[in-house]
Structure 1
């Protein structure tokens, strides 16, 4: 839902949330309940009833398996495969979430369809359109790029089909580009800034100078804005340069040269995926770190494994919480 309207959503939006939860998790609503919901709320929900007519219902996942976000896309796909397996086999974790669930959804098997989006918005939309036309999918998912998430948001609204973003760090996904049929569960720019900002100010004090490295699309720009807004308003920090690079950049030398001459004390690196790995490695090669402190406001644990302990030592980063995270990545 919109970031600035979290407490004022009208009842139909709430009904949509409950219907989506019932469809994907609890599977406790009878088919007649969905019919009543559709009648009361008027706008359709995806391919229902055709998509639910057979013994199997389908989910369409457009994830990047090639390109800068391939590692993250492959992991995202594994998560969906595990979830579908748990649903179909009545795993104990599913029963903990939805005690009335036995196997499948309302007696129907769930099948996951997937294809490589290469983190390209147009390609992701085309894949999901094929899934709808060929398989009557009941749910879309995918995206590790917020540009893809925003594109699929708009497509979901047009097709009136539920869409759950896989990974999307842009504020806009549930902000200015929020739609009725789009949902997100992960953290984003504003939450990352509010998590890491106080730690930076407390640890290093006020009045510091920071150079930002920003990927040139909605994720990068909104995360950079959120982090900079927090640091300037709450810590009196100054952004001395913002180095904006295209997604998929291999050589960051020109951006790192500009940072070296900026007078910055900190590098706030908003790059993600393979771009984050390469920019961190090259910052070390240029001799910028560790004399300049590296801050990574939006990351996942893969980064620590890909970059290695030497380059991540002393780095401040915001990521999703998990109980064993500190044990695995001390």
Structure 2
């Protein structure tokens, strides 16, 4: 099965021609003719984090279009196209549960979400109950960026698969780099006040204590998520603390506005971040980030290699506007691994597809990953990259037309990113 999955994924990640914004048609013999296979995305498409939700839509839609352009999903009764529907949860838990009811009422078997661990935790609980109550309409939850570790530890579920590295995995990589940063002496922790932000701070404290006991934590701040428009009071506190290093898991506008306030205040610190490589952050940082701002991700445009460049080129061909330059390998791999699992299962039934996903592997010339069966956590590489100016040389690509991009500082192969799990997952009968 490894060769089949790899072949499907590699062909779906490489460039295809597009006409009028759509993927090219498959040959007549491979055109999908069966009932469409529906996928739902429940995430924020309005409010403070609209840009994050819209960016995910672009990634998922391109991955789905590429699969359909090659004939869709092959099942025993023929080929089926994937059809993508979005449901706006306004970044709220209650709205997410309402949208999930709409999804199950329409008998959509696959739900994708990621831009909030609080939402993901609520969806897992609701899907567990729904699948037990309505076994003939079960739902599988594919998570592209909700990284609270509990989702694949004490809150793990047979119906949930995470395709992003969890917060502990990301922090483990960042603190490995900080361990060797002799200039890091006084660290300030700042994050969003919800389950994910609290976990980032907890992980940072624990891992720094183990790897760099000489470091002093000079601040530990949580702020309301998506509500702060002016971060200058927070930056003033950071400045007064004498911090030389900031660690943050902030994402979306909460990250962009924090970094902009730091730049405006002339804050001369290093930033170790989860997400500083997208959604307006590079342009907001500007020259102040050169050699100072780091991000951790499973891949980035300057990771290297002809196939990596071709994958990125395919995305930019489809979405040439610089503001749309937000591409993450994990979202494309997630869609393609789902497609391969449906074909392996010969069915869209959630339990059968979940079984096919367990242990599934992917490898090509620039990326490899495996879905750990024990907790449904994708084990994949991680890159810690540092911000550079493209015009200074050494970068093939910048981010969002900003003139700034990221260069690999440390690469962690998949075996080095895996952490133990406490998951005790009941299997469905």
The answer to whether the superposition gives a TM-score over 0.5 is yes
Per-residue displacement from partner, 1:21-61 (whole Å, max 9, x unpaired)? 9xx98xxxxxxxxxxxxxxxxxxxxxxxxxxxx71221111
SS at match of 1:118: coil
Q: 1:307 aligns with which of 284, 289, 295?
A: 284
1:103 and 2:80 equivalent? Answer: no
Q: 1:157 aligns with which of 118, 128, 138?
A: 128
Match of residue 240 from structure 1: 218
Contact 1:256–1:283, Cα closer than 8 Å, also in 2: yes
* Cα displacement (A) at 1:306: 4.3
SS of the equivalent of 2:234 reads: helix
Instruction: Name the stretch that deviates more: 276-285 or 115-124.
Output: 115-124
1:220 corresponding residue in structure 2: 197
Q: Which residue of 2 aligns with 1:113?
A: 85
Structure 1 residue 183, shift from structure 2 partner = 0.8
* In 1, Cα distance between equivalents of 2:251 and 2:60: 21
For the residues of structure 2 that align with 1:59 and 1:317, how far apart are their CA atoms? 30
Within 5 Å, give how 1:318-329 maps onto structure 2: 318-322=296-300, 324-325=302-303, 327-328=396-397, 329=405
Change (3 A) 1:89 1:297: closer
Secondary structure of the equivalent of 1:283? helix
**Partner secondary structure for residue 261 of structure 1:** helix
TM-score, normalised by the number of residues in structure 2: 0.57
Task: Give the whole-Å Cα distance in 2 for the aligned partners of 1:167 and 1:254.
Answer: 29
The answer to whether the Cα contact below 8 Å between 1:163 and 1:183 also exists between their aligned partners in 2 is yes
Q: Higher strand fraction: Structure 1 or Structure 2?
A: 2
Partner residue of 1:209? Answer: 186
Question: Shift in Å at residue 323 of structure 1?
Answer: 5.3
Give 2:66's aligned residue: 86
Report the alpha carbon displacement of residue 69 of structure 1 after superposing the two structures with TM. 2.4
1:252-308 Cα shifts (integer Å, max 9, x gaps): 233223222223222222211100000111112223x22x22222454433544424
* SS of residue paired to 1:77: helix
With structure 1 as the length reference, what TM-score do the two structures score?
Answer: 0.73
Alpha-carbon distance in 1 for matches of 2:233, 2:93: 28
Residue pairs, 1:170-181, within 5 angstroms: 170-181=148-159
1:169 paired to 2:147 = yes
Counterpart check, 1:260 vs 2:232: no
2:199 and 2:287 mapped to 1: Cα distance? 29
Instruction: State the shift of 1:130 in Å.
Output: 0.3
Equivalence for 1:33 = none
Preserved contact between residue 212 and residue 270 of structure 1 (Cα < 8 Å): no
Is it true that 1:148 corresponds to 2:119 in the alignment? yes
Instruction: Judge which range, 224-233 or 295-304, deviates more.
Output: 295-304
Q: 2:38 aligns with which of 58, 65, 77?
A: 58
Describe the shift of the 1:148–1:300 C-alpha distance in structure 2 as closer, same or farther (beyond 3 A).
farther
Q: Which residue of 2 is the match for residue 5 of structure 1?
A: none
Correspondence 1:270 to 2:249: yes
1:294 maps to 2:236: no
1:178 and 1:150 mapped to 2: Cα distance?
9
- Classify the secondary structure of the residue corresponding to 1:302: coil
Residues 143-182 of structure 1, C-alpha deviations (whole Å, 9 max, x = no match): 3111111111112212222100121122122223222211
What 5-or-longer segments of structure 2 have no aligned partner? 10-33, 132-138, 304-394, 398-404, 407-429
User: Is the helix fraction higher in 1 or 2?
Assistant: 1
Change (3 A) 1:64 1:182: same
Greater relative contact order structure (CA < 8 Å, 6+ sep): 2
Please, what is the CA RMSD of the aligned residues?
2.4
Pair 109,317 (structure 1): closer, same or farther in 2 beyond 3 Å = closer
1:327 aligned counterpart, secondary structure: coil
Rounded Cα–Cα distance in structure 1 between residues aligned with 2:47 and 2:288: 23
Question: Post-superposition shift, 1:114?
Answer: 0.6
User: 1 CA distance for matches of 2:277 and 2:160?
Assistant: 23
Deviation at 1:205, TM superposition (A): 5.5
What is the number of residues matched between the two proteins? 266
Equivalent of 2:167 in 181, 184, 189: 189
Match of 1:46 in 2: none
Task: Give the match for residue 12 of structure 1.
Answer: none
